[in-house]
Structure 1
Amino acid sequence: MTGTSLRLVAHGHTAALRRARFGGADDGLDEGGLRAALAQAQAGADRRGPLGVNATCLSSPAVAARQTAAAFGLLPTIETALADCDYGDWSGRSLEEIAESQPQALHDWLSAPESAPHGGESVTAVRDRVGNWLDEQQEAGGRVIAVTHPLVIRVAVVHALGLPLATYQQVDVEPLAVVRLTSRGARWQLRLGAPRAG
């Protein structure tokens, strides 16, 4: 079986992300997010490419993900499995607003991954979608760069490592973080370390 090298890249900062808003109207990168993405891309170019060469690039349909890929000089193919969670009625609203207006619903959502009080996707549904996609990547092999959302990366790591879904809350993914997963067919491995030159 062909090995798989997968780099999951979190998109840069958006206004909604800075304001802790659920989903929203698909903002693009804000000025600071674009600057940071370009700076990280330049630093990577100086080290001969932290994201690797000869890799297929995929992206969430979101504007911020596509702009992040472009800042890295990548031309992605849109992959709907990498889309952010559908937050339903909560889209565009802040965590504080929901905590004030629907405290029980927020508690349910945070404590039960199968819950979707907002009428959109549950975290379980996101994990199932992303997990199926990960399994397909493992079977296909090759080198893939996937630009997506922090929540998608969190559930991807949990699925790849076979952890209980509730542990996704213990995985923090910062904007522009790069998470590397590799596989030779039996299981995924999480690889941490500095990018290698050459």
Structure 2
Amino acid sequence: MTIRLTLVCGHTTNGTADTVFGHGTLRGDGLHEAGAGLSATPLRTPTVRSPSNCCALTSAALGLKTTVDPALRDIDYGMWRGRTMAEVAAADPHGLSAWLTDPDAAPHGGESVRQLCHRAAHWLNSLPHQTGGAVAVAEPAVVKALLVHALSAPARAFWRIEAPPLYIVSLMRRDDGWSVRPVDGSFPSEVVLHPSHRHADHSRRLVGRQGSHRSRDGAEQWLVRVPPARR
């Protein structure tokens, strides 16, 4: 039986241009567009969310009646929670560098990216076959981890996936595994996952070829083509 899971990123901002780990307040702009993106979702579709206040407010603003699922909790940022990226970079530059490049690193004393990806994969694989359609509202980190698993990408591709506020994407599961589809054009038609920014030019030239390839300098690329949205 087909499972169609619609993922929605909680929409937050801290009022500055800097990233805050695990903290934010609800923004109003963009909610109308997100609501339109969910308009085709059946009213009786089961909806779950992260336990966070952010996802509770996002769900309420979108008119979704949700059930809390602890497995969808945000990544544990440990002692970095509530601090800005700039603050962490100033206090622990080596730790931040490790965090952004090594999926097994947890310099903050919390959860590593690989641990988050394993948790997300377990949740996704545990969905009952009779689920049908469902909606999940979660933090961007959790959505990215779910996409890593659905795309069969390595954990280190986590930082190469963008999941902006109120980003909506649909995951479909059939017998042959998961596929990724955009909702109202919210997902780019082509996704490039590459192990380091210095290979970005090579990976862009390879867009449109499916699977794992090597660029001219021998660096591995993970390239995925996502079908365009059906209107």
Query: What interval of TM-score do these two structures reach, taking the shorter chain for normalisation?
Result: 0.7 to 0.9
Letter in 1 for 2:33: Q
Q: CA-atom RMSD, angstroms?
A: 2.1
Letter in 1 for 2:22: G
Secondary structure of 1:137's partner? coil
Counterpart among 93, 112, 136 of residue 103 in structure 1 = 93
**Which runs of structure 1 show a deviation greater than 4 angstroms over 4 or more consecutive aligned residues?**
none
Partner of 1:34 in structure 2? 28
Alpha-carbon distance between aligned partners in 2 of 1:186 and 1:44, rounded to the nearest angstrom: 27
Q: CA deviation at 1:149?
A: 0.8
Letter in 1 for 2:107: P
Q: Which has the larger radius of gyration?
A: 2
Secondary structure of 2:11's partner? coil
Identity %: 34
Secondary structure of 1:73's partner? coil
Alpha-carbon distance between aligned partners in 1 of 2:78 and 2:178, rounded to the nearest angstrom: 32
Closer, same or farther: CA 67–162 of 1 in aligned 2, 3 Å? same
Partner of 1:115 in structure 2? 105
Which digits, 9 at most, give the CA deviation of each residue in 1:117-176, with x for residues without a partner? Answer: 101101111111111000012645321100001111111111111111111111101100
Partner of 1:78 in structure 2? 68
Q: CA deviation at 1:97?
A: 1.1
Give the alignment of 1:62-77 within 5 angstroms: 62-77=52-67
Deviates more, 1:67-76 or 1:133-142: 133-142
Alpha-carbon distance between aligned partners in 2 of 1:52 and 1:128, rounded to the nearest angstrom: 30
Of structures 1 and 2, the one scoring higher in RCO (CA 8 A, sep 6+) is 1
Secondary structure of 1:70's partner? helix
Deviates more, 1:134-143 or 1:102-111: 134-143
Counterpart among 167, 179, 187 of residue 177 in structure 1 = 167
Alpha-carbon distance between aligned partners in 1 of 2:118 and 2:98, rounded to the nearest angstrom: 19
Retained in 2: the 8 A contact 1:109–1:116? yes
Letter in 2 for 1:6: L
Counterpart among 130, 140, 149 of residue 139 in structure 2 = 149
* Paired positions, count: 187
Partner of 2:122 in structure 1? 132
TM-score, normalising length: structure 2: 0.74
Retained in 2: the 8 A contact 1:138–1:185? no
Letter in 1 for 2:123: W
Gaps of 5+ in 2: 185-228
Alpha-carbon distance between aligned partners in 1 of 2:2 and 2:15, rounded to the nearest angstrom: 37
Secondary structure of 1:113's partner? coil
Secondary structure of 2:158's partner? helix
Retained in 2: the 8 A contact 1:181–1:190? yes
> Does 1:161 find its partner at 2:151?
yes
Q: CA deviation at 1:110?
A: 1.1
> Does 1:21 find its partner at 2:20?
yes
